[in-house]
């Protein structure tokens, strides 16, 4: 008769420290997050405290939100085993159409946004068709798209700058409004921070209950308490910094859009059928098809979704810049791809997370911002960013070739107790990725469900 896994003892065990933030493999899986923290501390000291000034962190969110939005879509493309080189051109093409629609065709701001999303979906459907149903490699399709949509931007806009109205600018340079009693901070921003903390507490409680129902080993209670306290403290400190900027500023509207997208796409990739299928196709396309996965539909979806997010990113950039220009979006695809790989995605596909890509994007954002604060010239900034990307991926690949644990693989592992239920008849424990496969292949089991 099989005996279920027993719950961990509540006493202190030094080995439990590795599970503090949910990791079952090694503290190495938090290498990217640790790198972000080190970079922030380094620039905070080097710039004399300027990095964490409220005005600067608000600027970082506004200035890089569109790149982080692109990274959300790009990680799904890369997990599926593709690449998209057209996102910057798609963003620029959408931006000029929306700007001209509002200026020349008298579209209201909300209709302009809807038009932009429709344009992005149409472009994504076009590129997805060639990739999924014709079989042209995404690299070639999107390389062609990069040229087509860049040329389309300059043709439609006549290589001119087209301004946008103040209402539309809100999505790129707006802030949460001031409401309620007079306080030294923005009330809505602090309430948003409290809401996030409440959600973290709720998720932790729900996770413990789920593990208990499933018979999986749960972390000691002190681990959950410390985890929530630390994360909650980080959230509230960040909320306070955003809430105490100069008068009239607070948490940016573009940041709200980014947070909502991160939550939504994290849920999609981790908790939905389409999410499991994306990991399946990227991990092993043929095995996924044998399991009943429609790989063509998956490839079509990831390409179309990427262009929709590129269109949204383009509109946010135009709104912040107050105008659409012929050189918008130049090099964005490289920044998005760098964010995804620094954040732990595998070059071969099948491995990656939305959260990891956001952290990777923040690494590049804080790095660029800190170097700019110190007056480092732009050519050196590009060199440094390139070296960071090369080292981040190179170290991981080297670890794999030497037979050591892959940082990328470790970042996508779940707790052993959550992956399988160990019984007295079968004492073997397998580690799986969010897609359900082994850490390095990420080929889901039972992906048809």
The Cα 277–Cα 284 span in angstroms is 10
- The answer to whether position 3 is within a domain reads no
Whether residue 85 contacts residue 139, with contact meaning beta carbons closer than 8 Å, is answered with yes
116 and 186 housed in the same domain: no
Report DSSP state, residue 163.
E
Taking only the tens place, the pLDDT of each residue in 354-408 is 988 999 999 999 999 999 999 988 889 889 888 888 887 787 677 667 655 444 4
Half-sphere exposure of 411 (CA within 13 A, CB side): 25
* 278 and 341 together in one domain: yes
pLDDT grade for 37, boundaries at 50, 70 and 90: confident
One domain for residues 160 and 284:
yes
- Asked if residue 442 belongs to a domain, the reply is no
Residue ranges making up the domain that contains 28? 20-174+252-419
Please tell me the pTM assigned to this model.
0.83
* 262 and 213 inside one domain: no
Give the CATH number for residue 367. Answer: 1.10.3470
In a shared domain, residues 304 and 392:
yes
Q: Verify that 165 and 199 share a domain, yes or no.
A: no
Q: Is residue 287 classed exposed, middle or buried when 0-12, 13-18 and 19+ CB atoms within 10 A define those classes?
A: middle
CB neighbours of residue 278 within 10 Å: 32
Asked if residue 91 and residue 187 are part of one domain, the reply reads no
Same domain membership, residue 213 and residue 130: no
**121 falls within a domain:** yes
Encode pLDDT of 303-362 as tens digits: 999 999 999 999 999 999 999 999 999 989 999 999 999 888 888 888 889 988 999 999
339, 260: one domain = yes
Tokens of 104: 């020349």
How many domains are there within the chain? 2
**DSSP string for residues in 369-404:** HHHHHTT--HHHHHHHHHHHHHHHHHHHHHHHHTTS
Q: Is residue 56 part of a domain?
A: yes
pLDDT of residue 248: 86
Contact by Cβ (8 Å): 419, 385: no
pLDDT reported for residue 28: 39
Domain end position, chosen among 224, 249, 274: 249
Residue 62 lies in a domain: yes
């Amino acid at each position: 008769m099989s005996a279920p896994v027993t719950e961990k003892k509540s006493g202190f065990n030094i080995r439990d420290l590795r599970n503090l933030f949910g990791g079952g493999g090694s503290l190495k899986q938090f290498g990217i997050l640790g790198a972000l923290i080190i970079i922030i501390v380094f620039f905070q000291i080097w710039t004399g405290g300027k990095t964490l000034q409220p005005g600067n962190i608000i600027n970082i969110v506004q200035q890089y939100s569109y790149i982080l939005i692109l990274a959300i879509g790009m990680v799904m493309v890369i997990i599926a085993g593709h690449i998209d080189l057209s996102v910057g051109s798609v963003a620029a093409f959408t931006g000029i159409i929306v700007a001209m629609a509002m200026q020349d065709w008298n579209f209201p701001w909300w209709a302009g946004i809807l038009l932009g999303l429709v344009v992005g979906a149409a472009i994504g459907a076009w590129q997805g068709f060639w990739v999924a149903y014709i079989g042209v490699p995404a690299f070639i399709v999107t390389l062609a798209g990069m040229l087509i949509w860049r040329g389309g931007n300059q043709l439609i806009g006549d290589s001119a700058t087209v301004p946008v109205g103040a209402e539309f600018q809100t999505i790129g340079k707006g802030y949460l409004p001031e409401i309620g009693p007079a306080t030294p901070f923005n009330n809505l921003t602090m309430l948003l921070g409290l809401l996030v903390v409440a959600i973290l507490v709720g998720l932790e409680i729900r996770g413990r209950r789920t593990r208990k129902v499933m018979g999986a080993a749960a972390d000691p209670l002190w681990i959950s308490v410390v985890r929530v306290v630390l994360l909650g403290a980080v959230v509230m400190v960040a909320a306070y910094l955003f809430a105490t900027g100069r008068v009239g500023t607070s948490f940016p509207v573009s940041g709200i859009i980014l947070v909502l997208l991160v939550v939504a796409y994290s849920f999609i990739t981790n908790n939905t059928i389409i999410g499991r299928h994306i990991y399946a196709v990227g991990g092993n396309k043929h095995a996924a098809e044998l399991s009943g996965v429609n790989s063509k539909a998956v490839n079509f979806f990831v390409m179309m979704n990427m262009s929709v997010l590129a269109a949204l990113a383009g509109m946010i950039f135009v709104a912040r810049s107050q105008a659409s220009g012929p050189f918008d979006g130049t090099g964005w695809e490289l920044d998005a791809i760098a964010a995804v790989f620094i954040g732990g995605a595998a070059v071969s596909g099948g491995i990656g997370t939305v959260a990891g890509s956001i952290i990777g994007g923040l690494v590049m954002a804080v790095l660029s911002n800190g170097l700019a604060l110190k007056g480092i010239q732009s050519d050196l900034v590009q060199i440094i960013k390139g070296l960071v990307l090369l080292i981040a991926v190179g170290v991981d690949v080297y670890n794999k070739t030497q037979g050591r644990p892959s940082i990328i693989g470790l970042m996508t592992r779940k707790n052993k107790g959550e992956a399988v239920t160990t019984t007295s008849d079968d004492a073997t424990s397998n580690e799986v990725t969010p897609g359900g496969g082994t850490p390095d292949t990420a080929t889901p089991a039972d992906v048809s469900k």
